[in-house]
Chain A
């Protein structure tokens, strides 16, 4: 179950597009599947935390390298 189902490349995009694109991607995967998000918007760190609290999905992995934030989200 640790395979990434879908990757959302939101690099370079500004608020609200990383969230909007992720929400659409998560909606299209079956429950329990993993969606990987790559973003460069520094605001996305707080935004994804809030978004997962609102939707009940979970961030199972979060890393940052060279200004790219990577979130792995598990669909509830």
Chain B
């Protein structure tokens, strides 16, 4: 593969030429070169709190970086961080709107499962993360999406919270149900997590 040539025109800038060669070689290479079956990670992300979404994003980004197929099922509270941060009130009826008022959706508005203290907890963890160079949930989500982690919203949860596709962040897969996830979870060489 290293001997692959792109027959560039003589007038091409060397830098652009190098990038092109790289891109072609990268596209021609599979994500993993380990022989044998494709390994897979499936995460059922149901919690939606900062300290639980973080490990979901860490494990799935590393899975994708290691050549695994990574799928994350977004269900119940775990769907809410994947609503656009800019959405304030979501839902179609009063009760759905009230729920979104009580728990503002979006990855920038996650609470802690412990020590939330009216937002003091997430603020302190955010400070410590910066100090110790720990990636933010937003950065991890971006890395996941760049590396092809598949995020599957739960159709039932979308309906129950009155969420529409345009409420959700870009790049999510089609909404699915439990049968789809069960099939993924029971494939060979698959690890499943319920977070």
Specify which chain A residues have a CB less than 8 angstroms from the CB of B32 in the assembled complex. 54-56
* A4 interfacial contact with B, CB 8 Å: no
Specify which chain A residues have a CB less than 8 angstroms from the CB of B26 in the assembled complex. 27-30
A46 CB → nearest B CB, Å: 13
Are A16 and B58 CB-contacts (below 8 A) given A30-B1, A54-B66?
Answer: yes
A64 CB → nearest B CB, Å: 19
The CA-CA distance from A24 to B31 in the complex, in Å, is 10
Specify which chain B residues have a CB less than 8 angstroms from the CB of A33 in the assembled complex. 2
The CA-CA distance from A14 to B61 in the complex, in Å, is 14
Closest to B1 in A: A31
Chain A, 41-58, CB within 8 A of any chain B CB: 50-51, 54-57
Contact status B58-A15, CB under 8 Å = yes
* B132 interfacial contact with A, CB 8 Å: yes
Specify which chain A residues have a CB less than 8 angstroms from the CB of B1 in the assembled complex. 30-32
Closest to A53 in B: B34
Are A30 and B67 CB-contacts (below 8 A) given A13-B133, A16-B58?
Answer: no
Specify which chain A residues have a CB less than 8 angstroms from the CB of B143 in the assembled complex. 17, 20
Chain B, 46-84, CB within 8 A of any chain A CB: 58, 61-62, 64-68
- The answer, among B21, B31, B34, for a CB contact under 8 Å with A30, is B21
B126 CB → nearest A CB, Å: 14
Contact status B135-A55, CB under 8 Å = no
The CA-CA distance from A61 to B123 in the complex, in Å, is 40
- The answer, among A22, A24, A55, for a CB contact under 8 Å with B67, is A55
Contact status B135-A56, CB under 8 Å = no
* B89 interfacial contact with A, CB 8 Å: no
The CA-CA distance from A14 to B139 in the complex, in Å, is 13
A19 CB → nearest B CB, Å: 5
Are A27 and B4 CB-contacts (below 8 A) given A13-B133, A14-B135, A16-B135?
Answer: no
* B125 interfacial contact with A, CB 8 Å: no
- The residues of A with any CB-CB pair to B shorter than 8 Å are 12-17, 19-20, 22-24, 27-33, 50-51, 54-57, 75-76
Task: Name the 10 nearest CB pairs between A and B, nearest first.
Answer: A23-B65, A56-B33, A54-B66, A30-B25, A76-B33, A31-B1, A32-B2, A56-B34, A16-B62, A14-B134
18 other A-B residue contacts (CB within 8 Å) besides A16-B135, A30-B1, A76-B33: A13-B135, A17-B133, A17-B135, A17-B139, A19-B66, A20-B62, A22-B65, A23-B64, A23-B65, A27-B26, A28-B22, A29-B22, A30-B21, A30-B25, A31-B1, A54-B66, A54-B67, A55-B66
